[in-house]
Amino acid sequence: MSLIRVDLMEGGRIALFSLKANRMRTVLTTVGIGIGVATLLAIIGIVQGLNASFDKQLATIGANTLYVSKFPWVIRGDWWTFRNRKNFTLPMVEQIRAQSSYVTSISPVVGRGADVAYGEEQLANVGVNGVMSEYSIVSGFEVIQGRFITEADNETTRPVAVIGADVASGLFPNVSPLGQTIRVDGRPFQVVGTLARKGKMLDNNQDLVVMVPFKTFYAMFGKQRPFSIAIAVTSADVVKQAEDQLVGIMRRLRNTPPDQPDDFSINRPEMLANTYQQLTGALYGVAVGVGLITLLVGGIGIMNIMLVSVRERTREIGIRRALGARKRTIVLQFLMEASAVSAVGGTLGTVVGLGLAKVISLITPLAASVQVLTVVAGVGFAALVGLLFGIWPAARAANLDPVEALRYE
């Protein structure tokens, strides 16, 4: 053990001396491996950031929610097949509540885009949703001022509205929106509540929304639009069981023949997650592959420089071997030299890569987030690359014939 420690100390001292004596070569090799690590970490940082952003957006839907609709969230096949399905009816909502043992909250939801105005202020393409009182529980919207839609609002078709955070800030920058009258496609609605900021879900801005009573929506905007049914179940652990039970309930309510497929779709957040992984998995693999190839090129550069170093120091190696240096000592020296260059390059590349990922996240919509473990792994992997690509030069140096090495000019 003491001999190994001596070899490590001596090898490290000689390696550092050699790196210092060949500064330009060391800098160029370090830059090569640094570029590889920086590229790889920047790509991984963007990938991790996108994944974290998607997970955060997906969490806003709720892990214990189901949405029954004519259309699936991800359409595969003929769109007209889904378009021609029968619309739902309002009695189905209460029948689902009565027949399901998992439902805790339920609400129909129908939507459209509209221009919303207050005085001289106007917002275009605002999502207007007709909902019932339990929709805030199902969707996870939190009222921060006023109140949400009530059953009385719905039964009496009151022209009241609860507005999202972006609508509130866009139309009422200097006054409280409560009690004010907004116009939705020219129709007046009194604001009775505002919602906490929720963020975006994919391309859907959940804060640019106006919620009105379900029956008021149909009374003012027509009944042609089909609605979906939003459902909250007891917990995320029973979502699959609730979905299976819901399929049976819906087939009975819609009189679907046993030999026919479902004429409705049950959507849940997990479906979006699976689709996201399918769409991005191959892309992320290619991106990381590009980074690894760049790092591989840096490793080849290390091997080339180390082979040149072995040739230049052939006579030195011969003298050391003649004086009794072990092959192990020579191997350790060159491996430590290669690893030191890679580790330094990896450290610099990590700093540059993290900075690059941050800059990209600031100037583009792409998010960036790098975990601490990824940073440690980046530096360690760079050192490992140097170690692997230094094995052949180190072995070649250790296996030189001392006599032939002493004659080398």
Domain boundaries, the chain: 2-57+274-407, 86-263
Q: What is d(CA 394, CA 43) in angstroms, rounded to the nearest whole number? A: 32
- For the cut 60, the answer to whether the pLDDT of residue 105 exceeds it is yes
Q: Which pLDDT belongs to residue 293?
A: 78
Q: Which pLDDT belongs to residue 346?
A: 76
Element (H, E) at 315: helix 314-322
Give the pLDDT mean for 25-53: 74
Give the pLDDT band (50/70/90) at residue 395.
confident
List the structure tokens of 88: 């739902």
Flag whether the pTM goes above 0.95. Answer: no
**Chain centroid, CA 1 distance in Å:** 47
- The SS3 call for residue 22 is coil
List the structure tokens of 341: 């260059």
pLDDT digits (tens, 9 = 90+) for 238-291: 888 998 999 899 999 988 888 888 888 888 877 776 767 766 777 777 777 777
- For the cut 60, the answer to whether the pLDDT of residue 19 exceeds it is no
Average pLDDT, rounded, for the chain: 80
- For the cut 80, the answer to whether the pLDDT of residue 402 exceeds it is no
- For the cut 90, the answer to whether the pLDDT of residue 180 exceeds it is yes
Give the pLDDT mean for 140-159: 93
Q: Which pLDDT belongs to residue 42?
A: 76
Give the pLDDT band (50/70/90) at residue 220.
very high
Q: What angle separates helix 327-363 from helix 372-398, to the nearest 10 degrees?
A: 150
List the structure tokens of 389: 């690509």
Q: Which pLDDT belongs to residue 3?
A: 46
Residue 139, CA distances (Å) to 61, 75, 127, 223, 231 in order: 6, 22, 15, 23, 9
Give the pLDDT mean for 74-97: 82
**133 secondary structure, DSSP code:** T
pLDDT digits (tens, 9 = 90+) for 320-348: 777 666 777 777 777 777 777 777 777 77
Q: How many residues are given for the chain? A: 409
Q: Which pLDDT belongs to residue 366?
A: 63
Give the pLDDT mean for 364-392: 71
Residue with tokens 């995320």: 236
Q: What is d(CA 302, CA 344) in angstroms, rounded to the nearest whole number? A: 13
- The SS3 call for residue 261 is coil
pLDDT digits (tens, 9 = 90+) for 341-375: 777 777 777 777 777 777 777 776 666 666 677 67
- For the cut 90, the answer to whether the pLDDT of residue 316 exceeds it is no
**Out of 193-207, 219-233, 386-400, least confident range:** 386-400
Give the pLDDT band (50/70/90) at residue 128.
very high
